[in-house]
């Protein structure tokens, strides 16, 4: 029985595992969508994701040096970084306080930059980030900037559909 328990425990991801980041992002996004008191819970999931990513990518971590045991590739790490910034941006955007708009702008900009490095600025994968950036400018009453982002989304999808 103990031998079987050890094998099962070996295959289960612990709460500080890098493989859990996609789940943390989904849970954070769900709580952001619920809004209100759930924003604090979303923040907790994002902090846990940030902490796991930081521990995994640190020089002192044995796992990051030994990638044979991990299910996560270096490309996944880049994607996790972009998603972390984008989701933090969404959280700050949902908080709708003037002081969080600057943080949202910084986080969304960093997320867009990282996504552009991976996919290119005309990729459909960036449309959600462009949408949130448009919503941010819409909340700030910068209608022209918001329209620019929404127009960019429409042109990307039009090009994608036509191809």
- Domain membership of residue 6 (yes or no) is no
Burial class from Cβ neighbours inside 10 Å (0-12, 13-18, 19+) for residue 20 reads middle
- Domain membership of residue 92 (yes or no) is yes
The Cα–Cα gap between 65 and 78 comes to: 16
- Domain membership of residue 83 (yes or no) is yes
Please report the pLDDT score of residue 1 as a whole number.
Answer: 44
- Domain membership of residue 11 (yes or no) is no
What average pLDDT score do residues 112-132 get? 95
pTM of the model: 0.84
Model confidence at 6: pLDDT above 50: no
- Domain membership of residue 4 (yes or no) is no
Burial class from Cβ neighbours inside 10 Å (0-12, 13-18, 19+) for residue 62 reads exposed
Say which CATH number the domain at 85 has.
1.25.40
Span 123-150, pLDDT tens digits: 999 999 999 999 999 999 999 999 999 9
The Cα–Cα gap between 127 and 110 comes to: 15
Please report the pLDDT score of residue 18 as a whole number.
Answer: 86
What average pLDDT score do residues 84-105 get? 93
Phi, then psi, of 63 in degrees rounded to 5 = -65, -40
Our count of domains for the chain comes to 1
Domain of 122, in residue numbers: 17-58+72-162
- Domain membership of residue 8 (yes or no) is no
Please report the pLDDT score of residue 32 as a whole number.
Answer: 97
- Domain membership of residue 115 (yes or no) is yes
139: CB partners within 8 A, 6+ apart? 93, 96, 101
Residue carrying the six token digits 């984008």 = 86
- Domain membership of residue 12 (yes or no) is no
What average pLDDT score do residues 18-22 get? 89
């Amino acid at each position: 029985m103990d031998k079987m328990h050890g094998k099962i425990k070996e295959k289960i991801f612990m709460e500080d595992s890098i493989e859990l980041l996609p789940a943390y992002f989904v849970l954070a996004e769900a709580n952001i969508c619920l809004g209100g008191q759930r924003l604090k819970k979303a923040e907790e999931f994002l902090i846990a994701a940030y902490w796991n990513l930081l521990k995994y990518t640190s020089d002192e971590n044995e796992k990051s040096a030994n990638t044979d045991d991990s299910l996560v590739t270096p490309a996944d790490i880049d994607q996790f970084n972009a998603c972390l910034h984008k989701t933090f941006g969404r959280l700050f955007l949902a908080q709708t306080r003037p002081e969080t708009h600057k943080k949202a702008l910084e986080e969304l900009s960093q997320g867009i930059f990282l996504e552009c490095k991976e996919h290119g600025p005309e990729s459909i994968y960036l449309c959600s980030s462009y949408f949130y950036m448009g919503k941010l400018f819409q909340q700030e009453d910068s209608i022209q900037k918001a329209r620019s982002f929404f127009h960019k989304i429409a042109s990307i999808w039009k090009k994608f559909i036509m191809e």
